Amino acid sequence: MSAHASRHVSSLKLRDPEVAGAQRALLEGGRLTQEQGVRLFDAPVLELGRLADAVARDRHGARVYFTVNRQLNPTNVCVLSCRFCDYAKKAGDPDAYTMTKEQIVAHVDPAITENHIVGGLHNKWRFEDYLNVVRWVKEAKPSLSVKAFTAVEIDFFCRLTKRDAAWVLERLREAGLDALPGGGAEVFSERVRREIFHQKIGAQRWMEIHETAHGMGIPSNATLLYGHIETRAERVQHMILLRELEDRSPGFFAFIPLAFQPGTTGLVRRQASAIEDLKTIAISRLLFDNVPHVKSYWVMLGQDTAGVALNFGASDMDGTIGVEKIAHAALARSPVGLAEEAMVHAIREAGKLPVQRDALYRVIREYPRAEPAAAAPHGDGRGEQTAAASAVTR
């Protein structure tokens, strides 16, 4: 880390010896090791947050990125049965669904700039059906950036077509795919895989597919599913393997820790605590010296923790996703506009500067700091701001 690039990190006075040790290592241009990463989980969360926030500020200033997007899940029918998944259904199940072309096209709201497509591994679909989903979305709005299909789905398409990942990815790119989302990585631990997702691809195949994509100029993200049966050491190991992948074949935009939602899975009794969430976000910011963003994914973290995470190293909030549906149900005049306001409000509340981006992190709009009147919880802007913020909470 150069002196110029480390203004915030170098000016920090830290009390905790472990976090101060991490600060020293970063200032000397070193990287945190597996052992340091694990030990940092026992450090005070506020000290971790101060250092991680300084790292994020040295990289991005006060900017926090978000996108006006929607998630499209064309089908929940899936041939696999991961133990942590509450979403997938078997064909014939009364709750199973498969969207028609009309439903898929209707999903493309003219106001969105990114579409995130992910779904089940359908027992009857061919590769062509998945390609059509991308084509239809892109035809409906050619300027839309499409982030589609996890490595698990790409591997499924390889098996359907008996072709390699490069061939499959090239066909998807021709159809309109711009980037790969980071799902399906779960935790890079054979022990955990055998326990809770033994039918799914493991670490090696997931990394092979992302390396291939990066080599072809297709950027991607990487996730970690935490807060179930994994250990902290396995979480850190996962991050280090991803850091090494990024060294070999750069192309990750963001690392996204996904807080496991127990739902009806019976795997654990409750979700990880907010402190554990913030530690995981902060430690990932400290470990990844080569990935631009750590994402605070509010859908899993909840709006409050996701907002706080913007002061613990996160510099991206994903997107509006389905907020506008809730706003619509509440009879808002401009549901997408309201969802966008909610993101802007959450980012400003954390003292940061909102930047709207597309899936390729091209800047669409930078928002100024809030005017004092707009930031205060009264005045003319109140109705919209408050309704927008509460739309995200539900």
Rounded CA-CA distance 242/291 in Å is: 9
Comparing CB distances to ligand V47, the nearer of 256 and 308 is 256
Sheet holding 252-259, edge to edge: 220-226, 252-259, 293-294
Judged by CB under 6 A, the number of residues near ligand SF4 is 11
Among 52, 152, 242, 301, binds ligand SF4 (CB under 6 A): 152
199-228 footprint of ligand V47 as x/- string (CB under 6 A): ----------------------x-x-x---
CA distances from 307 to 53, 166, 236, 275, 287 (A): 13, 38, 23, 13, 21
Closest CA to 309 of 343, 272, 275: 275
Query: Is 252 within any annotated ligand binding site?
Result: no
CA distances from 369 to 66, 102, 198, 336, 353 (A): 16, 40, 48, 21, 6
Is residue 84 a contact point for ligand V47 (CB under 6 A)? yes
Is residue 33 a contact point for ligand SF4 (CB under 6 A)? no
Q: Which of residues 173-212 bind ligand SF4 (CB under 6 A)?
A: 200
Is residue 298 a contact point for ligand V47 (CB under 6 A)? no
The least CB distance from residue 150 to ligand SF4, in Å, is: 8
Only segment of 80-88, 100-108, 211-219, 259-267 that touches ligand SF4 (CB under 6 A): 80-88
228 touches, from ligand SF4, ligand V47, none (C-beta below 5 to 8 Å by class): none
Write out the two tokens for 64: 């926090």
CA distances from 196 to 115, 123, 225, 277 (A): 29, 21, 12, 21
Cβ distance 201 to 152 under 8 Å?
yes
Among 182, 307, 335, 354, binds ligand V47 (CB under 6 A): 182
Q: What is the separation, in whole angstroms, between the first and last Cα of the chain?
A: 41
67: helix, coil or strand? Answer: strand
Query: Is 197 within any annotated ligand binding site?
Result: no
Is residue 81 a contact point for ligand SF4 (CB under 6 A)? yes
Applying CB under 6 A, which residues contact ligand SF4? 78, 80-82, 85, 87-88, 120-121, 152, 200
Applying CB under 6 A, which residues contact ligand V47? 84-86, 118, 150, 181-184, 186, 221, 223, 225, 256, 258, 260-261, 263, 297, 300, 318
